Amino acid sequence: MAKVIGSVVATQKDASLVGRKLMIVQPINADGKAMRSEEVAADMVGAGIGERVLLARGAGARHATVNNVPNDVNDCSIVGIIDSVDV
């Protein structure tokens, strides 16, 4: 679980990243506490700043629906927007 906290612009990048919305996400616990360090994730679900999201890493990140590019370098995707957390 992570929170979207910003975005990055990168003009010079691998061809597989062109057109991707690259967001900065902060991994969090259920209580919202920031854990570990921020990461850059390709947004596959239209997540907005401040939303809590589901991340997929590694090969899973490249399986996201809109992700069908050859030689994809992406290794972290936002794959869901969290509506509610029950703990």
For a second copy, which residue of 19, 22, 32, 43 counts as binding (CB under 8 A)?
22
Give the phi and the psi of residue 74 in degrees, each rounded to 5.
Answer: -55, 135
Residues 25-54 close enough to bind a second copy by CB under 8 A: 27, 29-30, 35-40, 44-46, 54
* Bridge partners for 24 per DSSP: 6, 40
Q: Residue 52: which H helix or E strand, with range?
A: strand 52-57
The two three-digit tokens of residue 12, written as one number: 């010079």
The two three-digit tokens of residue 45, written as one number: 């679900």
In the complex, minimum distance from the CB of residue 52 to a second copy, in angstroms, rounded to a whole number: 8
19 lines the binding site for a second copy (CB under 8 A): no
CA–CA separation, 8 vs 39, rounded Å?
11
Which residues in this chain contact a second copy in the complex, by CB under 8 A? 1, 5-17, 22, 24, 27, 29-30, 35-40, 44-46, 54, 56-65, 67, 71-75, 77, 79-87
